[in-house]
Structure 1
Amino acid sequence: MDDMRNVMSRIDKSGEGVYVQASTLGSLEALLEFLKTPAVSIPVSGIGIGPVHKKDVMKASVMLERKKEYATILAFDVKVTPEARELADDLGVTIFIADIIYHLFDQFKAYIDNLKEEKKKEAAEDAVFPCVLQIMPNCVFNKKDPIILGVDVIDGILKIGTPICIPQREFIDIGRISSIENNHKPVDYAKKGQKVAIKITGSNAEEQQKMFGRHFEMEDQLVSHISRSSIDVLKANYRDELSNEEWKLVVKLKHLFKIQ
């Protein structure tokens, strides 16, 4: 009973986590101990001993509503009944099976990494990275759509697809970055301190196309047009990809755009 109480105490109090199944109480304890280590840190919402049955799949399926990536069963050294496998496939519960703890973790980690990549791809269109650009002297190569300029990345990270606006000109939008060149070579992004050539393409054919010399001038800074939703997308999907300095720029731009 003491062993069982010890095992039950490992279940995450929030109720969110994976479902864990093992062949014996001892192997269940070993797996839970491994999942709890800081390097692994996978929360557990439920446990079971013996083969994976339909009832275990039903318990794991609760996570489909709460945190979909945790709608999984880590089955350590146990069999999965055909009925349980069929129900898991129908409900969308993922079952990982292994008789070595590390292999279970590797499978789960690969699964989570893959989910993150898929989320990133879905969110890519809505992700706006923070950047501040300054037009360089004698580097205006085309004044109207597509506007082609040589710029100095004053702050942040410039990426293809970034919507650009001019804060000094009542935040007028001039289009999106459609290409970046560094030393005449196409690149996907440019960071603070780099000098690059950019092409800005008008984002809306119905609107009047913006033009250098009419809508903005040499001294005007070009800034990525962030929004509340684009900040949320960065936080959810790109938190680790931005440096502390780049996050500070997000906060600075948030104030500039008066985003709540």
Structure 2
Amino acid sequence: LVLAFNVRILPEAEEEMAGREVEVLKDEVIYTLMEKYEKWVERKKEEIERKRRKEYIHPAMIKFLPEYVFRISDPAIIGIRVIAGRIKPGIKLMREDGRVIGTIKSIQSEKKSLQEAIQGQEVAIAIDGATVGRQIKAGEILYTDIPEKDVKKLKEMDVLTSDERDVLEKIIQIKRKTDKFWGI
């Protein structure tokens, strides 16, 4: 970032910056320049926060909608409602007893593939490793299986909504049934 107050930028400098990721904020009035800088800082913070959120598996609670079973296995394709949190392909799901039932292979809504489903959405998901009627039952509540290291980072970062925090606490309770110190 280059702050330019009441100056002209040389053409050679502009050429040099063009090939790099250098932003220039310039203005004739120092107060306006400072406002531009503060807005730039806010944008950067939000950008960093978005990237950090993508690095970790977030807590989510979903409900298997019994009237929407599209395929029983290989992969199981079912309709779900995201009660809280967010889900993405590649995330493992577990039951309320802590047993991992499979991995989300894909998410679709109205025949369009989605990269993410958020709270309130009703979508179809393909689950690798699960069979309807065996590992998962109609109407069942499922949770994301979050690695312990992600739980610690998510707690430190304070990026979760209140619903996501509640679901995270529920996931921690589930995991602590087998390991009393999980997530500490």
Secondary structure of the corresponding residue to residue 164 of structure 2: helix
In the TM superposition, what is the alpha-carbon distance from 1:79 to its structure 2 partner?
A: 8.7
In the TM superposition, what is the alpha-carbon distance from 1:234 to its structure 2 partner?
A: 7.8
Counterparts in 2 of 1:43-192, with a 5 A limit? 76-77=5-6, 96-100=25-29, 101-110=31-40, 112-114=42-44, 116-117=46-47, 120-121=50-51, 124=54, 126-153=55-82, 155-161=83-89, 163-176=91-104, 178-181=106-109, 184=110, 186=112, 188-192=116-120
Higher helix share: 1
Q: TM-score, normalised by structure 1?
A: 0.49
CA deviation map 1:186-232 (0-9, x unaligned): 4542424x5x2322343xxxxxx332233232354211122344342
Give the structure 2 partner of residue 199 of structure 1. Answer: 125
Unaligned ranges ≥5, structure 2:
176-181
8 Å Cα contact 2:65/2:139 also seen in 1? no
The answer to whether structure 1 residue 212 and structure 2 residue 169 are counterparts is: no
8 Å Cα contact 2:64/2:138 also seen in 1? yes
Q: Whole-Å Cα distance in 2 between the matches of residues 177 and 235 of structure 1?
A: 29
* Higher-RCO chain (CA-CA 8 Å, sequence separation at least 6): 2
CA deviation map 1:111-142 (0-9, x unaligned): 55246426634752x33232222222232211
Give the structure 1 partner of residue 178 of structure 2. Answer: none
Q: TM-score, normalised by structure 2?
A: 0.65
Instruction: Say if 1:246 and 1:114 are closer, same or farther in 2 by CA, change over 3 A.
Output: same
Unaligned ranges ≥5, structure 1:
1-71, 203-208
CA-based RMSD of the aligned residues comes to 4.0
The answer to whether structure 1 residue 243 and structure 2 residue 167 are counterparts is: no
Give the structure 2 partner of residue 45 of structure 1. Answer: none
Number of equivalent positions: 170
Instruction: Say if 1:113 and 1:221 are closer, same or farther in 2 by CA, change over 3 A.
Output: same
Give the structure 2 partner of residue 259 of structure 1. Answer: 183
8 Å Cα contact 2:96/2:143 also seen in 1? no
Q: Could you tell me the percent identity over the aligned residues?
A: 16
Secondary structure of the corresponding residue to residue 81 of structure 2: strand
Secondary structure of the corresponding residue to residue 35 of structure 2: helix
8 Å Cα contact 2:77/2:125 also seen in 1? yes
Q: Whole-Å Cα distance in 1 between the matches of residues 75 and 162 of structure 2?
A: 33
